[in-house]
Amino acid sequence: MNQPFHDQPLRLYDTYERAVRKFEPITPDGDVGLYCCGPTVYNYAHIGNLRTYVFEDVLRRALETAGYTVRHVMNITDVGHLVSDADDGKDKMEAGAERTGKTAFEIADLYTDAFMSDINELNIKTPDVLCKATDHIAEQIKCIQQIEQKGFTYITSDGVYFDTSKDPDYGYLARLDVEGLQAGARVSLGEKRQVTDFALWKFSPADEVRQMEWESPWGKGFPGWHIECSAMAAKYLGPLFDIHCGGKDHIPIHHANEIAQTAVCHGTRLANYWLHGYFLQVDSAKMSKSSGEFLRMATLLERHYDPLAYRLLCLMAHYRSDISFSWETLDSAQTALNRLRTAYHAFPDGGVPSATHVDRFYAAVCDDLNTSVALAVVWELLKSELKDEDKKATLDQFDALLGFDLAKWEPQELSIPDTVLVLAEQRAQARADKDWAAADRIRDELAELGFEVMDSADGPTIRQLS
Ligand code: AMP
Ligand code: ZN
């Protein structure tokens, strides 16, 4: 195994142990199994979702840079995720079909394609296996049968449920106070015995024809949301694999339930390391698809941002801290990316990487993927006294992890007409005079000419709108 990390051990925060742990693969041959919970394809992904996939991509690249061969599996949830994570309400897919006038299968394809295009724009490596829940109904039924045979289920009028009271370790991942939750459950449980119990199989309602339904030993219906991950992870990675990821919202319900199911079926905790990405927030509120109002990659493109500027914005923070999104931060990221690309392309080839910078960069990466510190090393490198060709060779190494595809970027000749330069100066003056109305008017004039001035801590830069 090659060791570009210069023997620095990769250390990752494991939510299960609540500790940063040295990464040790299960098999010594250097193969690593990585399972990431994928999108529920009833709508477009929002940029918050995409932040989680950027974090997972950095993790994958870190493992690859450390010399491991990663088998990256991601599910596509195209059935069974109900509007409420507590197994109530409509299936999100059927609700999405109603909203759009298409069939549930059509919207699954539409939003899966849109998702693939989004992750491609962000230079996120395509998972080796992308598996759809609807293609694995038999595997899910088999898992539920195993859970039933071991006595962990009960049946209500609307489905087959997992009885969490039978599992003394239930909720350990989230350190759930199961008794407290049960005592505090103000809503009626209905036929559910414990508030933490969850559906493994839901029956099709008698008064409604579902678009997505299958025969099963318990009657016609569809799988609950959590069983798909236990079934598909075991199929593609085995009953115990290395790393399982998702957003932090999955800790108390979805991942707690995945672990409970797999513990019954296979006696394992599913993955040796559990990693969770924190949220992207807008105006201190969680961005969510169900609220209907969210920013998509397409919104960023319409506003002429480069998708990789959003990637850089994500890397500016540690994955275990929430980010507050603002257009100003995205402007700064875009300016920083432009500067990095321009510098890289001005440097000649033929240099050698700077060992000290490489060491410091990987020390940050190995420290639980501390990308903000790694980026600080990038900016320091640019300002350093090193030879330009050595800077370029060092950036090439960094880019394998950062994923900006610096070498592929084509510098565009930007010729800025004099009128634009004059307007930009007038705008700067208007801002200095705090004449915001004039500054906004000039900004609109510039946009009509196809240009935009972006403000950042280092001063304004002019950008051509594509
Ligand atoms: P979903 O498509 O809703 O199943 O979510 C896909 C992924 O995005 C999951 O890993 C979620 O945990 C994650 N996620 C959801 N909302 C956010 C957010 N606002 N910021 C970051 N990740 C999120
Ligand atoms: Zn999952």
Q: Give residue 398's pLDDT.
A: 97
Q: Is 279 touching ligand 1 by the criterion CB < 6 Å?
A: yes
Q: How far is the CA of 304 from the centre of ligand 2 (A)?
A: 33
Can you give the pTM of this predicted structure? Answer: 0.89
Whether residue 408 has pLDDT greater than 80 = yes
In the predicted model, is pLDDT for residue 160 greater than 50?
yes
* Ligand 1 contacts CB of residue 64 (under 6 A): no
Coil, strand or helix at 336: helix
321 compared with 457, residue with greater pLDDT? 321
Contact indicator for 130, 38 with CB cutoff of 8 Å: yes
d(CA 325, CA 364): 24
Kindly tell me if the per-residue pLDDT of 246 is higher than 70: yes
Say which ligand is closest to the CA of 35. 2
Mutate to test the pocket of ligand 1, among 249, 297, 322 (most ligand atoms within 8 A of CB): 249
Per-residue pLDDT band for 461 (boundaries 50, 70, 90) equals: confident
pLDDT level of residue 2 (50, 70, 90 thresholds): very low
Q: Which pLDDT does position 291 carry in this prediction?
A: 59
pLDDT band at residue 13 under the 50/70/90 scheme: very high
Q: Residue 254 carries which DSSP code?
A: I
Provide the 8-state DSSP code for 77. Answer: B
CATH fold of the domain at 293-408: Isoleucyl-tRNA Synthetase; Domain 1 (1.10.730)
Q: Which one-letter DSSP state was computed for residue 251?
A: I
Indicate whether 8 pLDDT > 90. Answer: no
* Residue pair 77/39 in contact by the 8 Å Cβ criterion: yes
Structure tokens at 172: 């350990």
pLDDT, residue 284, reads: 57
| Residue with token string 């087959």 | 160
Return the percentage of the chain with pLDDT > 90, whole number. 73
- What ranges do the domains of the chain cover? 11-277, 293-408, 418-464
Q: What is the pLDDT of residues 30-52, one digit of tens each?
A: 899 999 999 999 999 999 999 99
Longest dimension (CA), the chain: 78
d(CA 89, CA 272): 33
Centre of ligand 1 from the C-alpha of residue 292, in Å: 14
Q: What is the pLDDT of residues 346-386, one digit of tens each?
A: 999 999 999 999 999 999 999 999 999 999 999 999 999 99
Superfamily grouping for domain 11-277: HUPs (3.40.50.620)
- Ligand at shortest distance from the CA of 39: 1
**pLDDT tens string 201-228:** 999 988 888 889 999 999 999 999 999 9
Does the beta carbon of 403 lie inside 6 Å of ligand 1?
no
Torsion angle, alpha carbons of 252, 256, 257, 259, to 10: 170
Mean pLDDT score, 414-439? 86
Q: Which of these, 277, 229, 235, lies nearest to 255 by C-alpha position?
A: 229
User: pLDDT tens digit string along 76-85?
Assistant: 999 878 877 7
Nearest bound ligand to CA 251?
1
